[in-house]
Structure 1
Amino acid sequence: MRREDPVRTGPLQAPDFSSLAGPMNDVTAVPETPPLSRERFAGLLDAGTSVERRCLLYELTGGIPGWLATLAPLTDPELRELARTGLFPGPLPQHAREPDRLGPVERDVVRAAAVLGDPFDPALAAAVARRGAAAVLPALDVLAERGIISPHTVGTPLFRFRHPLLRAVVYARIPPGARIAAHARAAEVLDETGAEPAQRAVHVARSAAPGDLSTVRLLADAADHVLGSAPERAVEWLRAARRIAPFDAPPALRRRLVLALWRAAERAGDHRLCRELLPELGDLEDATAVAELRARLAIDLGRHDEARDLLTAGLRAAPEDKAPPLRLRLALLAAVRGELPAVRELLAEDRGPEAAAVVALAGAVAGHTADYRAGAAAAAAFLRAMDAAALAEHVETVVRLGWAAHVAEDFSAAAGLFARGVRAARRAGRSGALPRLLLGHACALLALGRLAEALRSAEDCEARASTLHRPDLAGFARLLRASALTWRDGCPRTGAAAAAAAPAAVERLWWAVLPPEAGRRPPGNEGHDGPGGSGSRDGDDGPGGPAGPISHDAPGSPDSPISHDAPDSPDSPISHDAPDSPDSPISHDAPDSPDSPGNLEGSGVLEGSGAGVPRTAPGRRARDLYARAEAADDGRALPLLREAASGFADRRMALWEGHTRLLLAQRLARAGELSAAAEEAGRAKALAVATGSGRLRRLAIDQQRAIGGRRPRVGAAATPALSVRESEIVRMVRLGMPNRDIADTLVISVKTVEAHLTRIFRKTGVRSRTALAAAGAGGTAPG
């Protein structure tokens, strides 16, 4: 619903709900079936439903499909507003109506409860509805019997609506004037009971008259209280405070409101509101502080050149006591470019966790392992000591340290950091930071081969980035999702096309997750002989391309915020945290195309890109070795592939290890080493099962069959390996004689026949009498 904010000039009467009765379609008829999984819920929607809409519908319905009809008429912006405020934006859908067949007391109570929100106290509902307890308690029984409300928890007198959408429907049916009066009465009752500002703020914001300074201060206090847990709510209350504030409000109060609104908007990812506030901030704050705020906004939006100019100019004019924040931002911009000396100089006196994470990022991008490890260890020590609330204040540090670990190929550490960051950001309502955290989590999980979890995080990232109007981040999430689907299902039209369209900066950073179908040579291999000598290709098709020896599956049907972390890496400087279970708009010029994720450098993903993964890193070296082996003859390829598989295993890159072992099996089979080939194909299949890669599993099974087809068949060539008696038994088996008849013919016991058959099976490689007969074993006895 579009919330009305009419000007109130006089006292309001209590709402009269009893006059609003009328025939309505009953939303209590919605069947409350058990919630569906995300995958099953998505199967109920049209194939063309966007990821954002799919996620919004699942979030709002709680996975209960009966509520889909209520939400189907709403547009995507209306769904976003409903998810943000819990209020229907615009007219209520025709088939979504308040519960009917209620008496006047029940209707008054349920509407008062909708105004109060979940959970509600029956005593407060009675006061707002102006009904006595003697009438309200029986009404609660009727509402509970109808399945409209239920006890909140056992042992408390609180109640809640059966479903949040049911409460939203009831609230939307209250006429605007009655709604304002109900909120005013709720604020009055809560004030009389001595409730905290945060408890009263929602009602004051929706009912207070302009010009009341005490109300403005109450809303500001309430916003301060919820800033660390619900910044979007703080934005709503601060906007209401600015609307209510008189024109001659004290400058200090005006400054407080603007700064608090900026902080809340930044946390909520409302970049458009931040930009709107910048002119006011310029009038209220000193130039250094405004330069730092402008630079923060520019960095978050990936406009690094603009941020660098602002910071450089601000640092020249800033007094020494205000320079550290500017230096830290400049160091970050240098770190993403791998400018380690500049980072060291700028942060020479800074020993905080943010500075340590920036040093780690610079070391990882520049390929200086010692700097990465020192910075990562220092930053991780700070982060480990923080609880969830404190960590929420340092989610940007988590983002930088997580990407540093990813660039350094410490994928397990990166997954653990991003998982903890997502958990903290969700609890603190840090919507603005969630897309980058989820993107990093999906990227690290995909590098580790945890496909199902990576897909969930990438989908969640795409939905949240779209909600925040960040097409660049949504594009990156689509690329990750396409890559994961290619690894899982073999969909080159999706994954390979998206990966091939990615800019070079994306490949430099995400080389570990792009599938072989992308047909790209190893990043950074241009004009460079790979490790160990010459022989690297410089223009051929990449792994799995047209020249690749491994065929790929036909295109599949692509379809797709956070889970468990891999065990610690023995050489990781970052400890891993317990797994988490999941659970701002500004326009950009970046294209919002599934095949064009935008430019990574300056996107805000890594706060920019930079030099990429060091060539000496084990995984990167393994990728180079893989490419060299693909172009080499079998004799040269085998040791290269073995070393590449070992390098991928060292980095726990299960998908690439499996693909490498598959190619190794193919080359071994071609060289006649069938037993070794079968072993490598089996290991590839095991990795495919562990990662959930159906595509890799199918290829491994095909390879196993091809190897089996090249083994010597049991026949005349195998007969000399059998004794005279064994050959006789084989001939009798081929004639269809049972063991008893064979024993009688040869005048031996049945157990002796069975013992002979066991040896025959072992020698011929078959497992049953039927297979032995079908294989054509046992011609003539050895001469």
Structure 2
Amino acid sequence: MERVDPGGRTAHAHRARAAGPRAAFPERALPVPMTGRDRELARVLEALTGTDSGGTPFVEVTGDPGTGKSLLLTEACERLAARGTVVIRSDAARVTGAVLSVLPARSRSGRRLLLVLDDLHRATPEALDALRRLRPAVLCAYRARRTPPGLARLLRELPADRERVGVDLGPLDPADARRLTGLPVDGEDAAWCARAGGGVPRHVIWVARSPRLPSAARRRAGDGFTDLLPLPAHPVVDAELDALDGVLGRVARAAAVVGDPFAAEPTAAVAGVDAATFLAAVDELVRRDLVRPDTEGCGLLRFRHPLVRARLYQRMPVADRLVAHRHAATLLAATGTPAARARHLSRCAPATDAEAAAALARAAARDLDRYPARAVVWAGEALRRLPARAARERSRTLVLLAEALGSDGRLREARTVLGTAAAAAADPGQRAAVARLSARYARLLGRHAEAADALGREPTGGGDPDSAVRDPLTRAGLRWEAAVGALAAGDTATARRSATQSWDFPRPQAPDSRLRGAVLRAATEAFDHGPRVADHQLLGVVREFDALPDPALVPMLDAVILTAAARRAVGPTTEAARLADRAVGIARHAGQRGVLPDALLVKAAALLDLGALDAAVACCGDAARLARDTGAAEHTGGALALLAECERHGSGNGPGAAYQQARRALEGRPASRLTVLARARLWSVSPAGRACGLVAIAGGEGLPGLDRCERPRWMRVLAEAELRGGDAEAARVWARRAAEAAADLGSPVQTAHALAAGAAVALARGGFPAAGGAARSAAAAFGRAGLALEEGAALLSLARALAGEWRWALVPPVLARVRGIAAECGSRRLHGLAVAEQRRVMSLAGRVPEGARTFADPPGGGTEAVPATSAGEAVGALPPRGGPPVLTRRESQITGLVASGLPNSQVAARLGVNAKTVEAHLTRIYRKLGVTRRSSLVSLLTAGTPGGPES
């Protein structure tokens, strides 16, 4: 046994701390701080020092191997010894029943005695029997999965005066596990080590000490390659594996080769044992807690931890591994999945083996849509095993490798491989595949001229060099890339010409071509003609996408993203956000990093439109990081420009770090649909932006560089810029152009932008009634569309117009609603503008009587006067953001009872709640309806009941 010294530390603990953080680490001397175990330690100490029931504590610390049970016991011993407790500690396997039977409850000096037993599952039956009659307090640790019958009986039959307390050590949370690695906690290495270790402290530290961590690409390939991670020696794990001898060792090593999870029949065949021998060996492995039943059932088994399997695999002789992999590959040839067989072939196939290369290529093609990073590994292994004379197979495998690399987001590597594939292409089909992929990767990298050169000047047809291609799927792919590339370059006319051609290729050879053609037609109509023409087409496309399961949409993710972008352009924005969110989810789950920045950009833009600033900022950050990783500088600039716009709304300050980063990312980039939009966003963020700057960015006064369906919005921005510059006449011209453009589109949102531009011009010219009418209509339209920030800006204009008419009583409810919108969106800028306007109104209201100004426009006021005559018109008539319903069922009940004149106490009694709950509901009702007091609510209700309950 080991007794704690007066200073509170055992000699063992002193040696462990002196060893240093990089010393070899036996189980009892892990130099690991108590990271993430504060709660468990506090519970142990409280149980041993704060028991008020009079019972003697019996504290059990349980957990899987490596979770830190021994370290927790050591820390508890030190702290309790420092408080005066006499601590006696021992490994349970070495303690005898005779020693335990004579231990007193207290020491000779009268101090409390604590017996600490580690690995209680190893104790002898005599020791366990003596523990039942023991008098001092006990702190023990054991593996719950290895509870022998004697220990189970002891725990079941503890005396009644024992105060039993259980403390289970589960995996650490990810943040604590990252801190435990000793690596930068915000880096990818720490995050991967935490995941690979499963949150188990011993394994997290073990994998973090590996001399070479896997690359990011290999990590994305999955956990099946963990056994290739060079793990340092581990005394505890190695000792456990050394005990596997004879048949037990053969079965365990065969299972390590087969991989997790493993089935009985193939593993027994690889081990070379019969079924009965295998099952007996598995029973023993389960008893030793080296192997466990798979949680998903189906009769499969898996190792206790992937790193234990990896260490066992690495300790096998190389010759034994090769033989086992060959045997497994042979067994799986008829029954296994291509990926399962590919893993074994990649470890054992000779340097030149056409049959193995073909099997690896089939596995790569199978994994292309769902596991592209793994497909890269299989395609690379296939390429290595192809003989030099197999030119056609090498060309086909090179194209497969390039497609897998591009799907995984490694665009530059993919282009390099395509260069080799182009030289080796042997037939029109392979040349067409190279051209299609070259155009796609050039487009994603922002090199639109190269993309056009790869496909030829015209879409697939008479002028296309690959017009000899007869495969319908290949022809559809070429035409799609040509059209999408034209859209990305800003050439909508070329894309529209391709969309008007027939996309009904024979089925089932090209099952997706018809839907792609419908997407292309709907998108080009949306970007050019707005919802009046495109809404019905988009609705049909979205319905078809909704009817398909997620796996079926993986090959069509670019079409889904284009549909979401078109939906956002013409509305409704909520539908665009939903579709983009689905595309992001599918791309993440399937590992399609090549298209993920595009999907994130569309989702972030929709979230910004809806006023979800925090979510939009997170989305922009993800898009920018992914775009940098993939080398897509154009998308990096677009994401950072969008982030700069989000920061402007969120912080209320001028351009921040994202603005400068976006300018650098976009510097020197050729004009395209994305770069023009990104530069326009940056111009709108800059406080010194002059109208001529945006006109130059957009290619002229007609703004040809911007989508026609969004030009009224930018014309409104130009009108406001001219007003800031003091040129009211130029602003009026832009407002008139916005109204004309919106009338052609038939878009309620773009019409609202034109109304907002007219309101701004009328405010500047003193036409307050006209400004108020236009702002009120714009706010209503923005509210119906769910565009929160735009609704808030329009309401702010309405408040200024009402103040200009000296209608002071109507201004506070409007500004209260603006502040409510700002709070919901997290927009400090909008909140600051509302507060500033409130202060201005308050300073004027005391000096000018209510309604002193005549309700008529001054000469030259411009727009026809639309006076506001009541609070209902100013606020109550505005539909709520996002449209009805406004109030929940409970809020509607409370509103009706309040309108009947009942006080809060009687309302609470009627509904069976307390008065505080009624007050909380009323606060939310006031905020939703834009009122500030009970009397205003009653007055508002007399004009009509607000929206009904939510469904």
Which category of TM-score, normalised to the shorter sequence, fits these structures? 0.5 to 0.7
Alignment-mate amino acid for residue 339 of structure 2: A
Larger gyration radius, structure 1 or structure 2 = 2
Distance in 2, matches of 1:330 and 1:447, equals 30
1:159 is aligned to: 301
User: Alpha-carbon deviations, 1:303-344, whole Å to 9, x = none?
Assistant: 211222332358344436656654443333443466555444
- Residue from 786, 806, 810 that aligns with 1:676: 810
Alignment-mate amino acid for residue 78 of structure 1: S
Distance in 2, matches of 1:80 and 1:233, equals 9
Alignment-mate amino acid for residue 237 of structure 2: P
Distance in 1, matches of 2:217 and 2:469, equals 42
Match runs of 1:524-673 below 5 Å: 536-538=719-721, 617-618=750-751, 620-621=753-754, 624=757, 628=761, 635=768, 638-662=772-796, 664-665=798-799, 668=802, 672-673=806-807
Distance in 2, matches of 1:65 and 1:653, equals 48
Alignment-mate amino acid for residue 622 of structure 2: D
User: Alpha-carbon deviations, 1:176-232, whole Å to 9, x = none?
Assistant: 6665555344334545x8434332111111221123333223223333333332232
1:279 is aligned to: 420
Question: 1:478 Cα deviation (Å)?
Answer: 3.9
User: Alpha-carbon deviations, 1:245-298, whole Å to 9, x = none?
Assistant: 23344x554444334334433433333134323333443232555434432332
Change in 2 beyond 3 A, CA 1:79/1:159: same
Is the Cα contact below 8 Å between 2:637 and 2:663 reproduced in 1?
no
Is the Cα contact below 8 Å between 2:752 and 2:779 reproduced in 1?
no
1:261 is aligned to: 401
Matched, 1:104 2:242: yes
Matched, 1:353 2:515: yes
Distance in 2, matches of 1:237 and 1:378, equals 39
Question: 1:488 Cα deviation (Å)?
Answer: 3.9
- Residue from 302, 306, 330 that aligns with 2:446: 302
Alignment-mate amino acid for residue 404 of structure 2: A
1:119 is aligned to: 261
1:29 is aligned to: 66
Question: 1:711 Cα deviation (Å)?
Answer: 7.6
1:187 is aligned to: 329
Answer with 219-228 or 398-407: which moved more: 219-228
Is the Cα contact below 8 Å between 1:337 and 1:365 reproduced in 2?
no
Name the SS of the counterpart of 1:216 in structure 2. helix
1:137 is aligned to: 283
Distance in 2, matches of 1:485 and 1:468, equals 24
- Residue from 383, 391, 395 that aligns with 2:557: 395
Name the SS of the counterpart of 2:240 in structure 1. coil
CA RMSD of aligned residues (A): 5.0
Is the Cα contact below 8 Å between 2:209 and 2:232 reproduced in 1?
no
- Residue from 401, 417, 435 that aligns with 1:291: 435
Answer with 632-641 or 702-711: which moved more: 702-711
Question: 1:397 Cα deviation (Å)?
Answer: 0.9
Alignment-mate amino acid for residue 542 of structure 2: A
Is the Cα contact below 8 Å between 1:406 and 1:414 reproduced in 2?
yes
Name the SS of the counterpart of 1:284 in structure 2. coil
Alignment-mate amino acid for residue 467 of structure 2: P
Q: Which runs of 5+ in 2 are unaligned?
A: 1-22, 31-64, 69-168, 504-513, 703-710, 727-744, 848-931, 935-951
1:564 is aligned to: none
Is the Cα contact below 8 Å between 1:530 and 1:536 reproduced in 2?
no
User: Alpha-carbon deviations, 1:683-733, whole Å to 9, x = none?
Assistant: 2233234334466557657766887788879xxxxxxxxxxxxxxxxxxxx
Name the SS of the counterpart of 1:431 in structure 2. coil
> Does 1 or 2 have the higher relative contact order (CA < 8 Å, sep 6+)?
1
Matched, 1:332 2:474: no
Name the SS of the counterpart of 2:388 in structure 1. coil
Is the Cα contact below 8 Å between 1:665 and 1:677 reproduced in 2?
yes
Change in 2 beyond 3 A, CA 1:48/1:467: same
Alignment-mate amino acid for residue 102 of structure 1: E
TM-score by length of 2: 0.55
Alignment-mate amino acid for residue 261 of structure 1: L
Distance in 2, matches of 1:483 and 1:299, equals 25
Distance in 2, matches of 1:37 and 1:516, equals 40
TM-score by length of 1: 0.65
Matched, 1:235 2:381: no
- Residue from 346, 367, 373 that aligns with 1:205: 346
Change in 2 beyond 3 A, CA 1:507/1:228: closer
Match runs of 1:23-62 below 5 Å: 28-30=65-67
Distance in 2, matches of 1:542 and 1:47, equals 53
Distance in 2, matches of 1:377 and 1:383, equals 10
Distance in 2, matches of 1:656 and 1:195, equals 57
Matched, 1:450 2:584: no
2:385 is aligned to: 244
Is the Cα contact below 8 Å between 1:537 and 1:627 reproduced in 2?
yes
Alignment-mate amino acid for residue 383 of structure 1: F
- Residue from 435, 456, 464 that aligns with 1:312: 456
User: Alpha-carbon deviations, 1:148-196, whole Å to 9, x = none?
Assistant: x6432264432345666676676667676665555344334545x8434
Change in 2 beyond 3 A, CA 1:378/1:514: farther
2:585 is aligned to: 423
Answer with 444-453 or 641-650: which moved more: 641-650
Distance in 2, matches of 1:254 and 1:470, equals 28
Name the SS of the counterpart of 1:536 in structure 2. helix
Question: 1:102 Cα deviation (Å)?
Answer: 0.8
User: Alpha-carbon deviations, 1:323-373, whole Å to 9, x = none?
Assistant: 665444333344346655544433333242222322333233334544533
Is the Cα contact below 8 Å between 1:265 and 1:274 reproduced in 2?
no
Answer with 159-168 or 258-267: which moved more: 159-168
User: Alpha-carbon deviations, 1:613-666, whole Å to 9, x = none?
Assistant: 999824643664576478565837544543443343243221232344346446
Distance in 2, matches of 1:542 and 1:172, equals 72
Matched, 1:223 2:364: yes
Name the SS of the counterpart of 1:687 in structure 2. helix
Is the Cα contact below 8 Å between 1:449 and 1:691 reproduced in 2?
yes
User: Alpha-carbon deviations, 1:715-773, whole Å to 9, x = none?
Assistant: xxxxxxxxxxxxxxxxxxxxxxxxxxxxxxxxxxxxxxxxxxxxxxxxxx999xxxxxx
2:575 is aligned to: 413
Q: Which runs of 5+ in 1 are unaligned?
A: 1-21, 544-611, 714-764, 768-783
Distance in 2, matches of 1:538 and 1:626, equals 14
The number of residues matched between the two structures is 620
Alignment-mate amino acid for residue 186 of structure 1: A
Name the SS of the counterpart of 2:289 in structure 1. helix
1:576 is aligned to: none
2:158 is aligned to: none
Alignment-mate amino acid for residue 484 of structure 2: L
- Residue from 84, 100, 106 that aligns with 2:221: 84
User: Alpha-carbon deviations, 1:22-45, whole Å to 9, x = none?
Assistant: 97666953567567589x999999
Is the Cα contact below 8 Å between 2:628 and 2:636 reproduced in 1?
yes
- Residue from 530, 548, 554 that aligns with 1:386: 548
Alignment-mate amino acid for residue 405 of structure 1: R
Name the SS of the counterpart of 1:206 in structure 2. helix
Change in 2 beyond 3 A, CA 1:234/1:669: same
- Residue from 635, 640, 645 that aligns with 1:473: 635
Is the Cα contact below 8 Å between 1:88 and 1:172 reproduced in 2?
no
Is the Cα contact below 8 Å between 1:499 and 1:518 reproduced in 2?
no
1:562 is aligned to: none
